[in-house]
Structure 1
Amino acid sequence: MAEGKRYSRRSAAVHAARQHCKAIFGKSYSAYEGPDYEIHPVTQDEAIDKFPKTWWLGYAGPAYYKLRGYAKEKAGD
């Protein structure tokens, strides 16, 4: 669970972001994209270099996450 790490699929980045938020706030917390984290697609050039076998570079392609709001503030503590 490293913020900014590149994941081969968007779903893997979402899963990692939710696990990171759960580690910060506790197991009962349910993180949501928007207020707690944001998902960013990886550029096509970067995706080809890091994930050469990835043929689907659209919505479900490689991505990374960033924490936002209170999750980011709490992670900094």
Structure 2
Amino acid sequence: MKLHVLNDDQVIIDAVHFLGSTLWTNFAPFGEAGRFFAMQTARQGMTDFSIIQYRHYLVSEALEKRIRKASPIERLLR
């Protein structure tokens, strides 16, 4: 058995493409109009943004990661 760890990568097995990445939320599950509210809610209520000890983690950083990681996947899907 082979294990493929896909971090912003792809593997083709028997002509099937598998894409792998950690996608962070885009904070817009109901469209752009709700993004500000979603980010405020996450900032106030999600422990990810308050107890991560490495350093202070900002909601805006999660959005930036989402945008950066989604682009390569979108290109591969075209």
Q: Which gives a bigger RCO, structure 1 or 2 (Cα 8 Å, sep 6+)? A: 1
TM-score tier, shorter chain, comes to under 0.3
The structure that has the greater radius of gyration is 2
**TM-score normalised according to structure 1 size:** 0.24
**TM-score normalised according to structure 2 size:** 0.24
Structure with more helix by fraction: 2
